[in-house]
Amino acid sequence: MAARTPVVFVSHGAPDVLLKAPDTVACWREIGRQLPEPSAILAVSAHWQARSPTLSLAGAPVTIHDFSGFAPALRRMQYPAPGAPALAERAASLIRGAGVAAELHPDRGLDHGAWVPLSALYPQANVPVAQLSLMRQGGPGAHLALGRALAPLREEGVLILASGAVTHNFGWLDRENNTVPLPQARAFSDWVGERLAAGDAAALLDYRSVRYGAEAHPTDEHFLPLFVALGAAAGEPPARCQPGFTYGGLSMDAYAWH
């Protein structure tokens, strides 16, 4: 039997990470060097939420510049990967098989939660990509189950990339501080790393009850991709890459389940 394709979770940070966070980019590139070339990539990003899990059928997904206030160079960046409509159909079938309604979008492109890390992981943009939305009303448990439903894709050569954030509180951010972490951001980031290493899904599902949990994520959309990855990983311990923090409050931790 062929080896299962890895699952990767990245904290994608601010849109300018490619320009201002060389340690994070180096982390992503190192992860990319350790990855096989998959048949396709299923990317789930915190920046696409829909009523039901929705998959893009775009044959040539556009690069979405879904941000403002950053360097003009960012808006000129493109990630011209081909789409993966057959993967979108297959993923929708798996989700429906798990008893969850899944929808298809005809032409949705890649938002910055997807194309920014992909630019470092697969800079040639030669691997087909289909993007999957989060569920607007689904919490951590629903997204863990979503990841479990998608796990068979790993036997089919598909890389699952989940892109969100280990910490995501705008009140913690300091635009003048791109290196020194807030103590509470570091504490929660380390707690997440410890629970992932222990395979403690139950504790992670209840993250809002631990110290700094609710503060780290006033809303949970940036943490939900981690649960998709955790579900698809099926209990394996991940390798952790710790490039540090940006703007004081954004942990840039990344995880790969090989």
pLDDT digits (tens, 9 = 90+) for 172-186: 999 888 779 999 999
- Collapsed DSSP state (helix, strand, coil) of residue 91: helix
- What is the mean pLDDT of the segment spanning 81-106? 99
Put simply, whether the predicted model's pTM sits higher than 0.95 gets the answer yes
Domain residue extents for the chain: 7-257
Residue 170: in which H helix or E strand, if any? Answer: none
Which of 86-90, 174-178, 218-222 has the lowest average pLDDT? Answer: 174-178
Model confidence at 2, in pLDDT bands (50, 70, 90)? low
Distance of alpha carbon 5 from alpha carbon 140, whole angstroms: 23
In this model, does residue 164 exceed pLDDT 90?
Answer: yes
Burial bucket for residue 193 (CB in 10 Å: 0-12, 13-18, 19+): middle
In this model, does residue 201 exceed pLDDT 70?
Answer: yes
Q: Which of 102, 68, 71, 99 is nearest to 88 (CA)?
A: 102
CA torsion through residues 229, 232, 235, 239, sign: negative
One-letter amino acid at 191 equals: W
Tell me the backbone φ, ψ of residue 55, rounded to 5 degrees.
Answer: -120, 140
> Residues 6 or more apart from 81 whose CB is under 8 A from it?
41, 61, 110, 118, 122, 125, 126, 127, 128, 129
Q: What is the pLDDT of residue 234?
A: 86
pLDDT tens digits along 129-141: 999 999 999 999 9
CA torsion through residues 116, 70, 51, 142, sign: positive
Q: What is the pLDDT of residue 236?
A: 82
In this model, does residue 226 exceed pLDDT 90?
Answer: yes
Output DSSP code: residue 172.
G
pLDDT tens digits along 105-124: 999 999 999 999 999 999 99
Model confidence at 150, in pLDDT bands (50, 70, 90)? very high
pLDDT tens digits along 31-67: 999 999 999 999 999 999 999 999 999 999 999 999 9
Q: What is the mean pLDDT of the chain?
A: 97
In this model, does residue 1 exceed pLDDT 60?
Answer: no
Out of 3.40.830.10, 3.30.70.260, 1.10.1060.10, 3.40.50.1100, which CATH number does the structure's domain 7-257 have?
Answer: 3.40.830.10
Q: What is the pLDDT of residue 239?
A: 98
Distance of alpha carbon 236 from alpha carbon 246, whole angstroms: 28
